[in-house]
Amino acid sequence: MPAVFVHGNPETAAIWRPLLAELERKDVVCLSPPGFGAPLPPGFGATVGEYRDWLIERLAEIDEPVDLVGHDWGGSHVVSAVKTRPDLVRSWVSDALGTFDPDYVWHELAQVWQTPGAGEAAVEERFGSAEKRLAAFAGLGFPDDLATEIATGHDPSLGPAMLALYRSAAQPVKAELGRDLTGLTRRPGLAVLAGQDHFVGTDEQRRRTAARAGARVAELPDLGHWWMIQDPARGARILTDFWALG
């Protein structure tokens, strides 16, 4: 059974490259959500529901249940897909469980993106060209080669997809999506809890949602949102240990 990795915003599948180099398993598939390193299909509205359906369709094309791993919005897509179709996975991993807590408040930048006018201006300023994206990723501490690969891996659909996705998930939508997580409990789950990640909810919110989802917790107290880049060897190790539990 393959391991399937799904990235988030504003990334491409290159975000996983350092971690995948540390994994012993080679049966790996990286899926890029439409608009985030992959073209937007005609008529695709880039809403939370459409990304859930997109991921379910991609997983259904694989002949066997997979080990599914998601980061950031990819982690949210994992939650939405698995709670709907747990039969498609053997196990699941997400670092974004806190965003499904009823008390979760979107971070400041997300609230800007959710605001008409201000969101368009902010996206253009930071991500409107490869040069702007490269500066943004370099400013976040990405290695030069990885920042360049991600910055040049997008097309103009990134901005519209980003804005549509965040606006479709403005509260109370995300809280409603997290109301019933029963489906997640039907497969082994792992919540990656990076202690310095301030985008995906508080420590309490992440632990509370992990408990409702029946997930184990892997703590990375000194790492942040891009834990798979900061310490890829440790990231690979927590995944390998989790998968070994069966």
- Whether 147 is covered by a domain: the verdict is no
Q: Which CATH number goes with the domain that contains 238? A: 3.40.50.1820
Which residue do the tokens 């917790």 mark? Answer: 217
- Whether 73 is covered by a domain: the verdict is yes
Task: Summarize the confidence of residues 220-246 as an average pLDDT.
Answer: 96
3-state secondary structure of 155: coil
The Cα–Cα gap between 206 and 156 comes to: 33
What tens digit of pLDDT does each residue of 91-119 get?
999 999 999 999 999 999 999 999 999 99
- Whether 166 is covered by a domain: the verdict is no
Kindly indicate the confidence band of residue 139, based on its pLDDT and cuts at 50, 70 and 90: confident
- Whether 148 is covered by a domain: the verdict is no
Mean pLDDT, rounded, of the chain: 96
Task: Summarize the confidence of residues 198-215 as an average pLDDT.
Answer: 97
Report the b/e string of 208-230 with b at 16+ CB within 10 A.
Answer: bbbebbebeebebeebbbbbbbb
Question: Whole domain around residue 88: which residue ranges?
Answer: 3-105+177-244
- Whether 132 is covered by a domain: the verdict is no
What tens digit of pLDDT does each residue of 148-175 get?
999 999 999 999 999 999 999 999 999 9
- Whether 228 is covered by a domain: the verdict is yes
What tens digit of pLDDT does each residue of 51-70 get?
999 999 999 999 899 999 99
Q: Answer yes or no: are the C-beta atoms of 215 and 97 closer than 8 Å.
A: yes
- Whether 35 is covered by a domain: the verdict is yes
